[in-house]
Amino acid sequence: MANVPKKKGFFRAYLDFNVLYKILIGLAVGAVAGIILASCGVTALPKWISMFGTIFTRLLKMIIIPIIVGSLVVGASSVSPANVGKVGIRVIIIYLITSAIGVCIGLAMGAIFKPQADLAAVTELAAEAEGKLADTNVWQVIAEIVPTSVLTALVNENVLQVIFFALLFGICLSYMKVSDNERIRTISMTTYNIFDCLSEIMMKIVSGIMQYAPIGVAVLIAEVFAKNGAKVAGALLIVTIACFLGYAIHIVLVYGGLLKIYRIKIRTFFKEARTPFITAFVTRSSNGTLPTTFQAAENLGVHKEVYAFSLPLGATINMDGTAIYQGVCATFLVLSCIGRPFTGGEIAMIILLATLASIGTAGVPGAGAIMLAMVMQGINMPIEPGTVIAGAYAMILGIDAILDMGRTALNVTGDLTCTCCIAKKLGYVSEDSVLKNSK
Ligand code: ASP
C-alpha cells in the first residue's frame, strides 16, 4: 500500500507553527477582542477567561528562580579557573561595563521617549505599586544582597540573594572540578552534571511556557484593551522604537568606540560579525548562535583558547541588548503604572538590578522578558496576577519577540567585539589575523 502521509492534528500544527508569529497573532487577537469589548461597554473579561491570563503570569513567576539558579550555577562553574587569568578578568570586566552602559542607554531612551500606556487611570492598584516602590533604598538593597539564610532567600524568592549565592556556588564548583583530589573532582563533576541537567530541564519548561504564551498574552492584552481602549497601542510602538534606537546607539557608540580604541577596522570586524548578527536576529538565541560566533572569531584570527572561553561565557553573562531592553521596559512599566519617572535612587537600583538580570539571563529566546519580571520584583513592583503591572507587562510580552530579535543580535555582537578587543590587546591573535593588520 502506498505510504499516505498522516494528516497533522491541530495540536501538532499549533506546536510546529513559529512561536514568534503565534505570539504576534495572540497580541492582535487580544487587542481586537479588547477593543470590541470596550466599544460594547464591557470593561472586564469573565473570570473563567481571565484565568488563562492568570495562569500565564503564574507560570512566568514560577520559572524565575529555577532558571536563575540553573543558568548561573552552570555558567559560573563552566569557567575554568585556569582561564580566569589576565584574559578572563579583563573579559568579565568589559562584559560588565558594557552591560551597565546598556542599561543606562535603555534608561536614557526611556527618559527621552517616555513610553507610557495610560493605565494609571486604573488606579487604587497603581497607588499601591507607588507605595511599594517608594520603600526602595539602594544601599540597603546592596547590603541585603548577602542572604542570612539561603533557604529563606529561595522561599521568599529574593532574586538578588539567589543570584549572589548561585554565583558563589558556581565559582566554588569551578575550582573543585579541577582539584588535585580525585574524589573532589568526581563529586563536583556529578554536581555539575546535575545542575546542567536541571538547567536544560528549565529551558524545556521555558519553551513549553512560550507555546502557551500566545493564549496568555491574548487574554492579558484583551483585559488591558477592554479597560483602556485602543489608545494603549501607540505606547507599544514607542517602546519598540526606543529599544531599537538604543540598540543602534550602543552598536555605534560602545562597539564602534571599543573597536576604534583597540584599533580594529570596523568594516573588517563587521564583515565577519554579520553572520552571527543575522543568525542571532533570526534565532533569538545567543546560545544557538554560538557555532557561527565561534566561526567568526576563528576567521578573525582570535586564538581558540580565548574565544572558546569568552564566547560561551558571553552568551551566558554578557547581554547588552537585554540590558537596554530592561532599561526601556522598566521605564514603560513604571510610567504606565505610576505615571511618574524614576527618582535618582531608583535609577541606581535599576542599573544594578538590570545589570545583574542581564547576567542571569539565559541565552535562549524570551529569557530577557522573564528577567524583566525579576527586575520589577527587585524594585518592589512584582508582576502579581490581577494588578495593573501584570497588564502592562503583558503588553510588553506581546511584542517581546520583536524586541528579542534586536537584543539578541546585539548580545552576540557584544560578545564578539569584547573578545576581539581583549584578544588583540593581549596578543592572542594569529600572525596573519585581520585584527592584527587593521588599524
Ligand atoms: N534571547 C536573548 C539571547 O539569547 C536573551 C533575552 O531574551 O534577552 O541572548
What's the chain look like in SS3? CCCCCCCCCHHHHHHHCCHHHHHHHHHHHHHHHHHHHHHCCCCCCCHHHHHHHHHHHHHHHHHHHHHHHHHHHHHHHHCCCCCCCHHHHHHHHHHHHHHHHHHHHHHHHHHHHCCCCCCHHHCHHHHHHHHHHHCCCHHHHHHCCCCCCHHHHHHCCCHHHHHHHHHHHHHHHHHHHCCCCHHHHHHHHHHHHHHHHHHHHHHHHHHHHHHHHHHHHHHHHHHHHHHHCHHHHHHHHHHHHHHHHHHHHHHHHHHHHHHHHCCCCHHHHHHHHHHHHHHHHHHCCHHHHHHHHHHHHHHCCECHHHHHHHHHHHHHHCCHHHHHHHHHHHHHHHHHHHCCCCCHHHHHHHHHHHHHHHHHCCCCCCHHHHHHHHHHHHCCCCCCCCCHHHHHHHHHHHHHHHHHHHHHHHHHHHHHHHHHHHHHHHCCECCCCHHHHCC
In a domain, 12, yes or no: no
Q: Which of 313, 326, 325 is CA-nearest to residue 416? A: 313
Q: Which amino acid makes up residue 197?
A: C
Q: Whose CA is nearest to atom 3 of ligand 1?
A: 363
**Alpha-carbon distances of 188 from 72, 75, 108, 173, 193, rounded to whole Å:** 16, 15, 44, 6, 8
Residue 208, number of CB atoms within 10 A of its CB:
13
Asked whether the beta carbons of 166 and 158 are under 8 A apart, the reply is: no
In a domain, 123, yes or no: yes
**Residue 71 Cα to ligand 1 middle (Å):** 13
**Alpha-carbon distances of 364 from 287, 288, 387, 389, rounded to whole Å:** 6, 7, 28, 24
Q: What is the structure's pLDDT at 381? A: 82
**Residue 109 Cα to ligand 1 middle (Å):** 20
Q: Whose CA is nearest to atom 8 of ligand 1?
A: 368
Q: What CATH number corresponds to the domain at position 324?
A: 1.10.3860.10
Q: What is the structure's pLDDT at 416? A: 96
Residue 358, number of CB atoms within 10 A of its CB:
30
Please state the domain count of the chain.
Answer: 1
**Residue 408 Cα to ligand 1 middle (Å):** 5
**Alpha-carbon distances of 175 from 20, 172, 178, 193, 253, rounded to whole Å:** 40, 5, 6, 15, 37
Q: Whose CA is nearest to atom 1 of ligand 1?
A: 365
Protein residues whose CB sits closer than 6 Å to any atom of ligand 1:
284-286, 319, 322, 361, 363-368, 404, 407-408, 411
Nearest atom (ligand 1) to Cα of 315: 9
In a domain, 4, yes or no: no
Q: What is the structure's pLDDT at 288? A: 80
Q: Which amino acid makes up residue 426?
A: L
- Would you mind telling me the total number of residues written for the chain in this entry? 439
Nearest atom (ligand 1) to Cα of 364: 4
**Residue 321 Cα to ligand 1 middle (Å):** 8
Question: What region does 79 belong to: left with phi over 0, alpha with psi -120 to 50, or beta?
Answer: beta
In a domain, 6, yes or no: no
Q: Maximum Cα–Cα distance for the chain, whole Å? A: 75
**Residue 284 Cα to ligand 1 middle (Å):** 6
Nearest atom (ligand 1) to Cα of 287: 4
Q: What is the structure's pLDDT at 61? A: 75
Nearest atom (ligand 1) to Cα of 284: 1
Q: Which of 317, 344, 327, 319 is CA-nearest to residue 396? A: 327
Q: Which amino acid makes up residue 108?
A: A
Domain range for 320: 19-426
In a domain, 171, yes or no: yes
Low-confidence ranges of the chain (pLDDT < 50): 1, 121-125, 132
Which residues touch 395 (CB under 8 Å, ≥6 apart)?
A: 117, 220, 221, 224, 232, 235, 236
Nearest atom (ligand 1) to Cα of 289: 4
**Residue 368 Cα to ligand 1 middle (Å):** 5
**Residue 39 Cα to ligand 1 middle (Å):** 37
**Residue 433 Cα to ligand 1 middle (Å):** 30
Q: Which three cell numbers stand for residue 36?
A: 470590541
**Whether the predicted model's global pTM rises above the 0.85 cut:** no
**Residue 172 Cα to ligand 1 middle (Å):** 26
Q: Which three cell numbers stand for residue 413?
A: 555582537
**Alpha-carbon distances of 370 from 117, 314, 339, 376, rounded to whole Å:** 21, 19, 23, 10
In a domain, 335, yes or no: yes
Q: What is the structure's pLDDT at 435? A: 82
Pocket test for ligand 1, best of 19, 23, 375, 404 (most atoms within 8 A of CB): 404
Q: What is the structure's pLDDT at 123? A: 47
Pocket test for ligand 1, best of 408, 412, 413, 415 (most atoms within 8 A of CB): 408
In a domain, 432, yes or no: no
Q: Which amino acid makes up residue 236?
A: L
Q: Which residue in this structure is represented by grid cell 483585559? A: 223
Q: What is the structure's pLDDT at 199? A: 84
Which residues touch 343 (CB under 8 Å, ≥6 apart)?
A: none
In a domain, 433, yes or no: no
Alpha-carbon Rg for the chain, nearest whole angstrom, is 22
**Residue 4 Cα to ligand 1 middle (Å):** 40
Nearest atom (ligand 1) to Cα of 366: 7
**Residue 411 Cα to ligand 1 middle (Å):** 7
Nearest atom (ligand 1) to Cα of 369: 7
